[in-house]
Structure 1
């Protein structure tokens, strides 16, 4: 009852063992290199995705002088590797389609191992298809991850510089605002001082006007006194002239009387 199931299980295990042995011992050099390349890609992508390594550190690592030697050949090597992986992928796809459509039913009776050998070939073709496909996919993903890391690092540096500029602009705005308040306060104080100065000047002007009026009154009085003194001086001059004339007349009369006595 269980014999057909055991036979089927035996054939499956045998086919798996044969395919595994063949894949381990008969893998060609090119697919060995592609498999190693796939493992390296997986390791590199896992390392690039480590959370405790920041984008700035990766960018500083990418900016080392050693990478400048490979910079002229990087794009050429990248597209060359894509072309090689596409060729290998197409070859593996052709092998898969080739062994998937094969039906050795008549020959399987003559050679019982032919069916297992055919499935082994199909397994190898599928394995090569997966290896080349994932290698191509991870190669593109790795390029994209490196580009995004550089962009994130540049954005982080730019964001830091913009934040610094924003903080400095904010501080400058606060300083200008404080200066504006101080200027307004100074203008208010100056306006108050100007108002007080105007009041003082007005008081000084009023005081000077009063002093000017007093001085004008004093000048008028002085002019009046001068006029009075002039009139008095003129009167005294006239009186002096009159007295001098009388004195001369008296002297003449006295001189005439003396002459008469002598005669």
Structure 2
């Protein structure tokens, strides 16, 4: 085997090894994606496209050359060499080598395309798995939020019923979900306004209570002062009568 075909055969064996390595089931696409995005692989990938195109061109050229050699030595049916067995053996040997080289170049070219496609599919699968996990978490968050909203809605309806406010049932005809939500929002707004009014009235009542308390304290002080003056007047009148 000549030097170029030895190199092609070695390249074919390396391709077979990497294809089998990529097909190992217990290595996940995420791990392959991390390997593909590593610094070493990224550095190789900078020149990988050019190297791939050069390798493809060389393999195509060698495949065409091997095909030409096969056609060149396929002359045993056209030429009568029954009287020269040595020539027949030589031609058969050359034909076998040409066919072998054709198969080597063809499989190397096929595995080169297959290897590139496998790497691309593994990267895409890893990206899809990451997107799927993100969408799953987002869906779980939305489901949790919707469940919490429904629970809050039920609690709000219970509070409205306890407050004596009629709440439309979801199963009634002609009352859609949007209309029900609108009604609930309006009732909540009304309750908030009533609550604000009650708070203001309570604050006013507290102010009035504080004012009355202060006034009562002033009256108590004034009453004590008047009692003191009355006692003094009684004492002075008793002295005069004596």
Scaled to the shorter chain, the TM-score interval is 0.5 to 0.7
Task: Tell me the number of residue pairs that the alignment of Structure 1 and Structure 2 aligns.
Answer: 166
Which stretches of structure 1, 4 residues or longer, exceed 4 Å deviation after superposition? none
SS of the counterpart of 1:191? coil
Q: Hey, what's the Cα distance between the residues in 1 that align with 2:111 and 2:165?
A: 78
| TM-score of the aligned structures, taking structure 1 as reference length | 0.60
Larger Rg: 1
User: Which position in structure 2 is the counterpart of 1:64?
Assistant: 38
Give the alignment of 1:65-144 within 5 angstroms. 65-102=39-76, 103-106=78-81, 109=83, 111-144=84-117
Bigger mean CA offset, 62-71 vs 121-130? 62-71
Q: Gaps (5+ residues) in structure 2?
A: 167-189, 191-242
Q: How far 1:105 sits from its partner (Å)?
A: 2.5
User: Which position in structure 1 is the counterpart of 2:173?
Assistant: none
CA-atom RMSD in angstroms: 1.8
Q: Hey, what's the Cα distance between the residues in 2 that align with 1:138 and 1:68?
A: 22
Higher RCO by CA contacts (8 Å cutoff, separation 6 or greater)? 1
Deviations 1:182-206 (A, max 9, x none): 1222222223599xxxxxxxxxxxx
Matched-pair contact (CA < 8 Å) for 2:35–2:41: no
1:186 equivalent among 151, 156, 159: 159
User: Which position in structure 2 is the counterpart of 1:39?
Assistant: 13
Q: Gaps (5+ residues) in structure 1?
A: 1-26, 195-263
Deviations 1:219-260 (A, max 9, x none): xxxxxxxxxxxxxxxxxxxxxxxxxxxxxxxxxxxxxxxxxx
Matched-pair contact (CA < 8 Å) for 1:104–1:115: no
Q: Hey, what's the Cα distance between the residues in 1 that align with 2:7 and 2:165?
A: 90
SS of the counterpart of 1:75? helix
| TM-score of the aligned structures, taking structure 2 as reference length | 0.65
